[in-house]
Structure 1
Amino acid sequence: MKIETKVTPWLTFTTQAKEAAEFYTSVIPDSQILSIQNNPATSGVLVVNFVLGGLPVCALNAGQDFGFSNAFSFSVACDDQDEIDTLRISAH
């Protein structure tokens, strides 16, 4: 499944990123896990890339408990430094 977007939301977990992705993709149609990246230091899951209802999402095992909050993160894919600089200037 190829997704055409530059913005990807990130979800942070202590250690449950894979389990969360498996659950979300099991209940939301048009969803699937795309890849699982392991932490080379621990061999445990570090990042899970998946699609929820056509939306790309990444789940990160941060390894520490931040507690529940309303915070979330976005990743923005850029083609080059000029695009990054444009976004940086626009955000100010």
Structure 2
Amino acid sequence: MASINQIVPCLWFDGQAEDAANYYVGIFDNSKITQVSHYSEAGKEYHGHEPGTVLMVSFELNGQPFTAMNGGPQFRINEAISFQVMCESQQEVDRFWSKLTEGGPVEAQQCGWLKDKFGVSWQIVPSVMIEMLKDAASPKAQRAMSAMMQMKKLDIAELQRAYAG
């Protein structure tokens, strides 16, 4: 159970909350659905959902709590919010990129960003990239940044070559 001061991201869906939660739980280790709640007759004049349909799904991705809510068509997820997945190796980058881009029309953006089949944006980031970009004024960091800007999925070896010169 989440502590009282823990921040829990809530994702708004239009009927896909349970599918999305199950999809994400299947991708990340140490993940699980923790609770599913349903709409009732109470408040139907406001929410408009049939009693018994999924309202909210609480889940954890690698121990981080999330909530997915079937709120309706009023709001859409967009790129203004994204989730960073920090990766220690190219194998991890490749695995998360592959899993999060499967199953539907997905937009691969640049610099390690992608949008999954539910419209959620993710950044698949090699942790070594954070180190390379620490000193933005250095020629090494500038070369790494230039290389990164040309990529969709980040390639650690190519970033290291650019960084080294």
SS of structure 2 residue aligned to 1:50: strand
RMSD: 1.9
Cα deviation digits, residues 5-55 of structure 1 (max 9, x gap): 611011110000000000100111000000000001321000000000110
Please report how far the alpha carbon of residue 3 of structure 1 lies from its aligned counterpart in structure 2 after TM superposition.
Answer: 5.1
Listed as ranges, the matches of 1:9-88 within 5 Å are: 9-41=9-41, 42=50, 43-71=52-80
Cα pair 1:3 1:54 within 8 Å, conserved: no
Aligned partner letter, 2:61: L
Cα pair 1:34 1:49 within 8 Å, conserved: yes
Structure with larger Rg? 2
Q: How many residues align?
A: 71
SS of structure 2 residue aligned to 1:63: coil
Instruction: Please identify which structure carries the higher strand content.
Output: 1
How far apart are the structure 2 equivalents of 1:9 and 1:67? 15
Cα pair 1:3 1:55 within 8 Å, conserved: no
Which structure has more relative contact order (CA 8 Å, sep 6+)? It is: 1
Aligned to 2:133: none
Gaps of 5+ in 1: 73-92
Aligned partner letter, 1:12: W
Cα pair 2:12 2:76 within 8 Å, conserved: no
Identity %: 31
Aligned partner letter, 1:52: L
Q: Give the TM-score of the pair, scaled to structure 2.
A: 0.39
SS of structure 1 residue aligned to 2:26: helix
How far apart are the structure 1 equivalents of 2:66 and 2:11? 8
Q: Give the TM-score of the pair, scaled to structure 1.
A: 0.68
Instruction: Please identify which structure carries the higher helix content.
Output: 2
